[in-house]
Structure 1
Amino acid sequence: MKITVIHGQSHKGSTYNITKQIIDKILDTNKEIYEYFMPRDTPNYCIGCYNCFNESENSCPQAEKVQKIVKSMEISDIIVIDSPTYCFEMTGQLKTLFDHFGYMWLSHRPKQVMFNKVGIVISTAAGAGARKVTKALAQQMFWLGIPKVFQYSKNVSASNWEMVPNKVKKSIEHDISKLSTKVQSKVGKVSPNFRLKFIFTIMGMMQKSNNWNKVDQNYWKENGWLDKKTPW
């Protein structure tokens, strides 16, 4: 089993530790993990050059870092993305990475392999806001075509993992034991739901009349998606 893990921050706090526990509890003796930390492994800010849309993803000035992460995602069974809660949002470093994934959205050039992945999004906060972050992360995964995304958010009542009350840690352990079992049961067995299929169909209708970006339209044609073929 291959797992890509993208951490929205470089420090190993509550969010990191919960992510690690979830991965550890996924029972597979041959786990292969590709792990990235923001901002060390993130590309620089998107400069809005539109090269990824109008030419190719390899024309992006940050392509080397972006495509390294994308390749890991493509070959993985599970994609895990976590972020501590910063001012009710994901970290700025992680948003920078998502900005570079725009060309892979359902509205542009979604990757067929994404339609059989399982996603996990995780966030913690000392107070409120973590659920808002996991919702935003799950939305990003949806637009990449990932059909099943598990969300886990937690108010840990502490600014670092060492200070998290034992009662809260026990609650987390209980939660992630159930979550890891659910994740395992879905690997290799997921398919798009009605909403994802509906959005894909709408995007296909848009691409048929696409006279503003032939790179996108040709991509859909080459995949046969304008002729009733689907990526699932």
Structure 2
Amino acid sequence: MKKITALIGSAQKKATYEAVREFERNLKSHTEIELEYVFLADYQIEFCRGCKLCFNQGEKFCPLHDDRDLIIDKLIHSDGVIFATPNYAFHVSASMKNLLDRTAFFLHRPYFFGKAFTSIVTQGIYGGNSIIKYLKNMGENLGYSTSKGCVLKTLEPVTKDVQKKNSLKIKKAAARFNKVLMRQTAPSPSFFRLMMFRMSRSSMKEMLNDEYYDYQYYRKNGWFESDYYYEVSLNPIKKMMGRIFDYIGHRMAGMN
């Protein structure tokens, strides 16, 4: 059985919540799952102070002692996650953005490899596609294997025709997510992801030292020597490009 966590960035148990419930029903038609609903409004998560202690010394040194780690623990023990949010001012809801801010250290030290990620956005008129792209990019930066999410029109009153289109989008999104969820092997990184990893680690080797937790983390995981974050077979072209990205990262860091 696969464990799924749905992070819901709406304080109302209405359209966004109902969309996740329908997604769950569709996903269960593919595989056996256990899905936990996490309403961010029910958790105390204070605003990030920008002290950078989580970057430089490690997340345990964060001066804010709230429910952040409760949610992180749920994500760590899940096989997949769903980020579900209404479209608020052309972005995710404040509670979801705040959680992403408070866990930004994972962008420096990606963790969730081998886990599936997707997103659901509910909205009135437009703007949701850019939010889906943003969340997909965030998921990849966190280490997840991502599948394309869905944008649903939920402006009341929702007509039967719109509801039918929404249901079809949810059905397709659930099938895409299940495909990623059941993947047995780690995917080969795209050229962009390979570039981000190799240039970042080269810059880190040049600019940081063992006093910084990011540096310690990379060294402990062998990322200063590896082809990528996890063991993967790169084709000859990607191996060559990886060396080029290492060189560019080294040169860029040396210019600072």
The normalised TM-score by structure 2 is 0.80
Amino acid paired to 2:189: N
Matched with 1:193 is: 189
Question: Which range moves more in the overlay, 30-39 or 200-209?
Answer: 30-39
Does residue 223 (structure 1) correspond to residue 221 (structure 2)? The answer is: yes
The normalised TM-score by structure 1 is 0.88
Q: Is the 8 A contact 2:201 2:223 kept in 1?
A: yes
Per-residue deviation, 1:21: 0.8
Matched with 1:16 is: 17
Report which structure shows greater RCO (CA 8 Å, sep ≥6).
1
Per-residue deviation, 1:39: 2.4
Q: Is the 8 A contact 1:145 1:196 kept in 2?
A: no
Per-residue deviation, 1:22: 0.8
Amino acid paired to 1:128: Y
Matched with 1:183 is: 177
Matched with 2:76 is: 74
Does residue 58 (structure 1) correspond to residue 25 (structure 2)? The answer is: no
Matched with 2:120 is: 122
Structure 1 Cα separation of the partners of residues 72 and 57 of structure 2: 17
Per-residue deviation, 1:79: 0.9
Amino acid paired to 2:21: K
Amino acid paired to 1:210: M
Larger Rg: 2
Matched with 1:172 is: 166
Matched with 1:109 is: 109
Per-residue deviation, 1:16: 1.9
Structure 1 Cα separation of the partners of residues 4 and 207 of structure 2: 35
Structure 2 Cα separation of the partners of residues 42 and 164 of structure 1: 33
Structure-to-structure mapping, 1:30-41, within 5 angstroms? 30-41=32-43
Per-residue deviation, 1:219: 0.6
TM-superposition CA deviations, 1:47-77 (whole Å, max 9, x none): 1222211222122233541121112112212
Q: Is the 8 A contact 1:116 1:188 kept in 2?
A: no
- Structure 2 gaps, min length 5: 231-256
